[in-house]
Chains A and B, each alone.
Chain A
Amino acid sequence: MSTIAETSRRGQAHRRMRIDGWRWGGRIFLVFMLLYTALPMAWMLITSIKSGFAAMQFPPQWWPDQPTLASYQKLLDPQNSVGQDFLRFFWNSLYVSAATTVLSVIVAVPAAYAFSRFTFPGRNFLFFTVLLRNMFPAVIFLVPLFILMRAIGLVNTHGSLVLTYLTFGLPLAIWLLKGFYDNIPVQLEQAARIDGATRFQAFILIVMPLSTPGIIATAIYSFIGAWNEYIYAYTFLSKNEQLTLPVGIQRFFSENTTDFPGLMAASFMMSVPVVVLFLVLQRYFVRALTEGAVKH
């Protein structure tokens, strides 16, 4: 009797030890990943509050002797030329990204709905054509698109960027939203139609509200994509006052190659809007991936 109890107790202890082994392994791994992820960002922040002189020392000052916000003040001061440029780039990025986001949602919602609900000839072909856009890099579209934009008079306008960015966002947007619509029961719409709603009304009043998380996820994705885009902005725009942040910052710091605190402060400010947006809305994004991308 006692031996049985003892063996089972020993078995339990053994099992707990093994599970603990996995759990500890996981914890150590997570600490490692946290350091890998966070240390570069921390170093960016620490450098951004150093003076130019303090940044250029060996061995480096792990924490600046005299922390200063001078780099941020310079970037945000509309009175000096650096601040003027930075604020203008910031505004350009915001404007282009917002326009792209609104248009992506307007185009992607009906398309995804059609791909989910209707069976028209060529549906699969069109759907995969849309998805295949994901496969192609920006660079191979550059020359023809540049010539195309020149032909329709959009070179050096923000319109050229919005039109191009639309196509990045669309494939994933349509894919995510289609998964969402697939999971909304058709019966809900049918009930509405029996009650006298048209197909369009059923779509606006029943389906749209249910797919709000998907639409928010789509919007975040388009916004972040447009905000961070570099190659097209680098190629299509040449006038200084039109540049978006990634190109503007690059152009600015190719002239001031040693102002690392300024560069780190600018990198930080450029990251703030998208990181905040993402952190606030991330649950929608993860949910959209669960319901959209990952089928049950």
Chain B
Amino acid sequence: MLRKIWEHRADYAYVLPAIAVMLVVIAYPIYYTIDLSFFNTPPGLQLRDKTFVGFNNYTTILTSAVFWKVTWNTLIWTVGSTVISFVLGFAAALALHRDFFGRGVLRAILIIPWVISAVAASYIWKWIYHSDFGIIGAVLVGLGLADRPPNFIDSVSTVLPSLIVVNIWREFPFAMIMMMAGLQTVPDQLLRAAKVDGANAWQRFWHVTFPHLSNVSTVTILLLAVANFNSFIIPWIMTGGGPSNASHIWITHIYELAFGRQRWGVASAYSVLLFIILMTLGYFYVRALSGNDRRDEGA
């Protein structure tokens, strides 16, 4: 083993810069977070005075009502955003697959929200949802559907769906790009053969196109799920987690615990729980990707 490593010593030079950066910015923080999650810390970043408390931080989290509220929000946020973004993106990719006049322009316009900064997107939508001068409220009143403009993001019941709409606006283009790339790999001969055999459009999609895209679909859904689970900017800028925690998700809650209330130990314990969840997702992600590689080698 050592001899093999020595023989390949020159190869490592190519990956060394990447690995070095990763070690400093990833491995060290992970170690540090796990360590800190077992300590009670005084406010401020003077961490010398921390005291060891064992699993106390973890029990504090798991027994608090806020934890379950925030977890439920995160679940709705992640699943809702991921599923709808994927379906809309996939449908748009299919609709854009056939050539027609103006396709390139339309595709470019649909991708723009993904490129715009989430901060800008949050402000645009905050203005659209504005409770006095918002355009959606004005349209609803104008059509006679509401007596006065609704309070989209200041009301406990509508805030989370309203934010999910913003998130999907920014995210469906990613699913669309991925699925468009995937669609180009579906062999035309197979589709034509299916047509000759009398398969209708839906059957061709379900039996030829879709199975071909199962791998890229898995990867896209996982990437979307991870990105949504990790979102921060949209809820943070638009509502700050309010009203009364109705739009707090895990990441905004951790940020508030750490930098707002300076409870570093509890925030670290939260982060460790997050690691565990993400590693589970990561396992499926790696499996989907390496499944890809294996099929390549077999072919």
Q: Chain A interface (Cβ within 8 Å of chain B)?
A: 18-19, 22-23, 26-27, 29-30, 33-34, 36-38, 40-41, 43-44, 47, 55-60, 106-108, 110-111, 113-115, 118-122, 124, 126, 128-148, 150, 163-164, 166-167, 170, 174, 182, 224, 227-228, 230-231, 235, 245-246, 249-250, 253, 260, 263-264, 267-268, 270-271, 274-275, 278-279, 282, 285-286, 289-290, 293-296
Q: A140-B275, A231-B232 are in contact. Are A38 and B22 (CB under 8 A)?
A: no
Name the residue on A nearest B173 (C-beta): A37
A148 close to B29 (CB less than 8 A): yes
Q: Is the interface of B mostly helix, strand, loop or mixed?
A: helix
Chain B residues 228 to 267 lying within 8 A of chain A, measured CB to CB, are 229-230, 232-233, 237, 251, 254-255, 258-259, 264, 267
Whether B61 sits at the interface, judged by CB under 8 Å, is no
A110 is contacted by which of B17, B108, B111 (Cβ under 8 Å)?
A: B17
* Chain B hits for A129, CB < 8 A: 22
A131 close to B285 (CB less than 8 A): yes
A282 is contacted by which of B15, B18, B28, B111 (Cβ under 8 Å)?
A: B111
* Chain B nearest CB, measured from A211 CB (Å): 14
Whether B125 sits at the interface, judged by CB under 8 Å, is yes
Q: A29-B95, A30-B96, A235-B259 are in contact. Are A290 and B21 (CB under 8 A)?
A: no
Q: Is the interface of A mostly helix, strand, loop or mixed?
A: helix
B22 close to A134 (CB less than 8 A): no
Chain B residues 100 to 158 lying within 8 A of chain A, measured CB to CB, are 106, 108-113, 115-120, 123-125, 127-128, 130, 132-133, 135, 138, 141-142, 149
8 intermolecular pairs with C-beta atoms under 8 Å apart: A44-B124, A110-B15, A111-B14, A128-B289, A140-B33, A166-B21, A260-B133, A267-B120
Q: A34-B106, A34-B109, A110-B15 are in contact. Are A58 and B33 (CB under 8 A)?
A: no
B22 close to A167 (CB less than 8 A): yes
What is the CA–CA distance of A133 and B106 in the complex, to the nearest angstrom?
33
What is the CA–CA distance of A261 and B195 in the complex, to the nearest angstrom?
54
